[in-house]
Chains A and B, each alone.
Chain A
Amino acid sequence: MAITLERIPGHEERVILSMGPQHPSTHGVLRLVLELDGETVVRALYDIGYLHTGFEKSFEDKTYTQGITLTDRMDYLAPLSNNLGFCLAAEKLLDLEIPLRAQWVRVLLTELTRIQSHLVWLGSHAIDLGAMSVFLYCFREREDILKIFEMVSGQRMMTSYFRIGGLALEPPLGWLKRVEKFIGYFPDRIDEYEGLLTRNPIWLRRTQGIGYLSAEDAIALGVSGPSLRGSGVEWDLRKKQPYSSYEKFEFKVPTRSEGDVYARYLVRVEEMRQSLKIVQQAMQGMPEGPVKAKAPHIVLPDREEMKTSIEALIYHFKLVTEGFHPPLGEVYQAIESPRGELGFYMVSNGSPRPYRCHVRAPSFANLQALPRMIEGRLIADVVACIGTIDIILGEVDR
């Protein structure tokens, strides 16, 4: 915090500029310290921590189930991806098998999350570079996805819908009709965004050849997700290390080799189309069955069951007042969030609360590539580069 750059003797004409944390294009509270020679950025440092809330400390004071609610608030544009990562880590710790239907609902909803997160990214990235209407269009479609989330979980953004052992509750009747309607019209909408941007000469001038990141640099700096795939590395955890039945879905992993802002734009737009394909497959092949694992010592019993079964009542009481006890051990579970590798490292000492829960936030790692992208470039490109790595400060600062 409060990083400063010192002037180098002999270069007194250079300007030290503090950009942010209150700046519309820093996507939250990111502060950059730039040393400028005319309009060229000579050195750049980033300064974070303005949104630090101590989530990792709070996890230690909450039971595993209570911890889910914190994960929503980290990456607030992809709450369900965060829920999924946390639940999968805890389930790995418990060695718990999840019913197929719950897995498929999880896949469907996290792919919708990916689309809506990319929509916010596309809208705000475009408005940063001066394209106003794309922003409005993207938020129009995003609202429809948020309405599906609200229908399913009761919340538009802080969903906390996934639980350790499955889902919080059976999704409501008719929700798939809503999803069907969305995937019916959404492909045309992607074409509409592409029609506005992909061959737009102003957009091309602002994005092509800007913010170059080579594949070697990206790997060395820990960059993951669309930013890594935009540099030509075909790496997607949904394909390489499948979780939650992703191996049963057919989709392509889009990559581009250019490594610039435009390449990452094309990768994300194509990812929306692929996510839509996954949603379609999940919807059509949605299996029947329960949405909670058969593990009464971990999963809360149904309300109806509690009225007739004393065991269910006892389990409910124990789970609510105390929580469950995972075995001693530690796990690391990574998922492909819209921004990259989202990892949860969980250490259990056998108590109902995690002894340590660390979040490997993709934005936190991807941000390290920003100085590499902007040093030596014009100050006008800084805004394009902040947009292209798609950071969420809630996740960076945790």
Chain B
Amino acid sequence: MPADLDTYAPLKQVKAFDPTAVDEASSFRSEVTLYIRPQSLRRVCEFLRDAPELQFKFLADLTAVDCYPQEPRFETVYHLLSLKMNERLRLKVRLPGADPRVESMVAVWPAANAFEREVFDLFGIVFEGHPFLERILMPEDWEGHPLRKDYPVQGEITRWP
């Protein structure tokens, strides 16, 4: 794991594969994060999974962060693991606060199925192309998305007359 991003092989290979896909790359505590543009996500994920010297075949985790009130408000976070290289990589996609949508990764990693449902349930981010995008933890008639930062934790939304 590098302190120096310029020599980090997965980043170099992704850049060689698609020079416009990575918006930004950062490293903190020797964990690398790549910010991927939403329209390139599917291609980059398939590349990372299938490239013979990378083989990020294991989707360890998929979640989201709400950066309210900043814009773009949401970030979906993908933690990839390569059993072959024994390497971890974090991908992030920035999404707008109004009508956040991103392509589903179920076709790339079937493991994404439940994780994406959880993010949809708790953040209200829509994963386009997901085979069964329903609430998974909250009751199906629940209103709102509890992990959003502007969710009223005390209960009902106060409406002033």
Give A contacts to B, CB under 8 Å.
Answer: 1-3, 48-49, 52, 54, 56-57, 61, 92-93, 95, 219-222, 233, 235, 240-241, 329-332, 334, 341, 343, 345, 347, 355-356, 358, 360, 364-365, 367-368, 397-398
User: Contacts A1-B135, A345-B63, A368-B110; is A331 near B28 (CB within 8 Å)?
Assistant: yes
Is B29's CB under 8 angstroms from A48's CB? no
In the complex, the number of residue pairs spanning A and B with C-beta atoms less than 8 Å apart equals 95
Is B114's CB under 8 angstroms from A332's CB? no
Give B contacts to A, CB under 8 Å.
Answer: 28-29, 31, 33, 57-61, 63, 65-66, 77, 79, 83, 86, 88, 90, 109-111, 113-115, 118, 122, 134-140, 146-147, 153
- Residue among A343, A364, A365, A398 having the largest count of chain B Cβ atoms under 10 Å: A365
Is A219's CB under 8 angstroms from B58's CB? yes
Shortest Cβ distance from B63 into A: residue: A358
Is B65's CB under 8 angstroms from A219's CB? no
Is A49's CB under 8 angstroms from B61's CB? no
- Residue among A221, A235, A341, A397 having the largest count of chain B Cβ atoms under 10 Å: A221
Q: Which of B33, B139, B153 contacts A2 (CB 8 A)?
A: B139
Q: Which of A48, A61, A222, A330 contacts B111 (CB 8 A)?
A: A222
Is B114's CB under 8 angstroms from A367's CB? yes
Q: Which of B28, B57, B77, B136 contacts A49 (CB 8 A)?
A: B136
Is A221's CB under 8 angstroms from B110's CB? yes
Is B140's CB under 8 angstroms from A1's CB? yes
CB distance from A157 to the nearest CB of B (A): 24
Contacts of B83 in A (CB 8 A): 219, 233, 235
- Residue among A56, A356, A367 having the largest count of chain B Cβ atoms under 10 Å: A356
A368 to B153, CA, bound (A): 30
Contacts of B88 in A (CB 8 A): 332
CB distance from A225 to the nearest CB of B (A): 12
A39 to B17, CA, bound (A): 50
Contacts of A56 in B (CB 8 A): 122, 147
Is B114's CB under 8 angstroms from A365's CB? yes
Contacts of B139 in A (CB 8 A): 1-2, 49
User: Contacts A2-B139, A222-B109, A332-B31; is A358 near B86 (CB within 8 Å)?
Assistant: no
A3 to B134, CA, bound (A): 9
Contacts of A2 in B (CB 8 A): 139-140
User: Closest 4 interchain pairs by CB?
Assistant: A222-B111, A360-B61, A49-B137, A358-B63
